[in-house]
Amino acid sequence: MNNHEMFFNKLHSICSQNQGQRTAATFAELAEAHKQIACPVTDSSEPIQQDVVALFQHNATPLNLHVHRCSDWQDAAATIAAIAQQAGLEFTAQKEIIAHDHPDLRQLDLGPLLAKQRIPFHLTSGNGAEIQKNTRNSFIGITAADWGVAESATLIQLTTEGRPRSTSLVPSIHIGVLPINRLLATLEQAYAMLMNIPLPDSFVFISGPSKTADIEAHMVHGAHGPKEMHTILVDTEGKAV
């Protein structure tokens, strides 16, 4: 008997004795039975908010997450350029920026704008080692999100080609970009989205900059991930998702 068989046999004999709660014979049956027990986590103290952007902003403030609402892609690009101009350096000697190679971010056309500030700009495409090097050399990482969640000020990112994980992690500052038509109200809605697509090996929910309160419960931003985070919400003129 191999490792798996041994384990499953043992477990099967234990679980089979649980007469009361054991009702399903297959995983599909179990999943079906679970669907009958709905458990949405909702908090009645939440302000009732029709406007998801306002709700996102409301929940971002306590997380020290900066939210910028931009009227179009051009406005978004200008906002990013302004952040890049003002922000200071932490790990590196000069300013460089890396961005996900994603259709949303290509619309920003950041290259020429940043060239004016003499900031080298990289995309996460091409050679893996090159991307790694550029990521470590960048002080800002710009990422494209799949969805936003207003109730927790969260961005959800699937790890897919052109969107590696370290862009939102290794640089000191993370800028997440999301068209407003992909901003959802609740986490439950976001999970519903995840249920309907084949999921990649990795995905992540990000709600604000990295932080720690391990020393005397004193809140400090920038433990191991970015110490500063901006979310750019781009108006998409009501275009459908």
Cβ closer to another protein: 21 or 86? Answer: 21
Which residues 13-42 are close enough to bind another protein by CB under 8 A? 14-15, 17-18, 20-27, 30-31, 33-35, 37-42
Of the listed pieces 68-76, 103-111, 183-191, 231-239, which binds another protein according to CB under 8 A? Answer: 183-191
Q: How far apart are CA 162 and CA 137, in angstroms?
A: 18
| Given 82, 109, 200, 241, the residue binding another protein (CB under 8 A) | 200
Of the listed pieces 71-79, 102-110, 193-201, 230-238, which binds another protein according to CB under 8 A? Answer: 193-201
Q: How far apart are CA 139 and CA 123, in angstroms?
A: 14
Listed residue (191, 221, 192, 195) closest to 208, CA to CA: 221
| Given 147, 225, 228, 234, the residue binding another protein (CB under 8 A) | 225
Residue pair 205/156 in contact by the 8 Å Cβ criterion: yes
Which residues 135-164 are close enough to bind another protein by CB under 8 A? 135-136, 151-152, 154, 159, 161, 164
| Given 195, 238, 239, 240, the residue binding another protein (CB under 8 A) | 195
Which residues 55-114 are close enough to bind another protein by CB under 8 A? 59, 63, 91
Kindly state the smallest distance separating residue 93's Cβ from another protein, in Å. 15
Q: What is the DSSP letter of 88?
A: P
Is the alpha carbon torsion for 58, 241, 195, 199 positive or negative? negative
Q: How far apart are CA 54 and CA 52, in angstroms?
A: 5
Instruction: Name the residue type at position 223.
Output: A
Kindly state the smallest distance separating residue 60's Cβ from another protein, in Å. 12
Instruction: Name the residue type at position 113.
Output: L
